[in-house]
Structure 1
Amino acid sequence: MSPAWPSLVALALIVVALPATAWLLRRTGRPGGAGGGTLGIAAAVAVGARERIALLRADRKWLVVGITAHSITTLAELDEAPAGIDPLAPGAGTGRFADVLRGLSRHAAKPH
């Protein structure tokens, strides 16, 4: 065996390992190796042709955001799930947004 063979074998292993690693990360849903976090839309309602209000879950925080064609604005931040939303259920909050909004207004009315 010539001295070039070990280098070629190492290069071949690297060429195979890179796409395999990328595929594995995509399959596990952990890009960049970070895991455990959740981000998702719990509920949304259209309030215009291109405008909507959405309730987002980001880890343990809940955000009410206004979404337009050109921007996203945070309307409220909550530390706990709004009334009517089970944060542990898959697809939490896919029910009626009006019910969620009513729960939020009750939450905002509570003195801190």
Structure 2
Amino acid sequence: MLESFFFTKQGDFHPQEADPITLLSGPPSSGKTSLLFQFAVNSASQCSNVNSKVFYFSYGYQNFQGIDPGCEIFKRIKMKYINDDDDEGIKKYFAAFHLKDTFPIAVVVDDFGDFFHE
């Protein structure tokens, strides 16, 4: 799974062989968000089906440096920003996950613990 966070040759990445769930943790400002976004970019770029999407959930807006919003890979990453007033959005997304016609390549949730206040 670790290799999917870093850029590798086209044939080296096999998402179907990866662990289904990975938890990335670390202290504040240690680069977790950057690694998660790199994972989303690598997942989107390595999948041969151009209709496949990566969903990226985050609390608050993230400003990723050096990303061209018009590039094809970035168009395959669907960003969903959750604010304090709308934390039900992620719960609703996963509650209806089984109803989707096609499943995403990956679902990335940044600051996962912040979505649950109970």
Query: When the two structures are superposed, what TM-score results if normalisation uses the length of structure 2?
Result: 0.23
TM-score normalized with structure 1 length: 0.23
More strand by share: 1
Q: Considering Cα pairs closer than 8 Å and 6+ residues apart, tell me whether 1 or 2 has the greater RCO.
A: 2
User: Which structure has the larger Rg over C-alpha atoms?
Assistant: 1
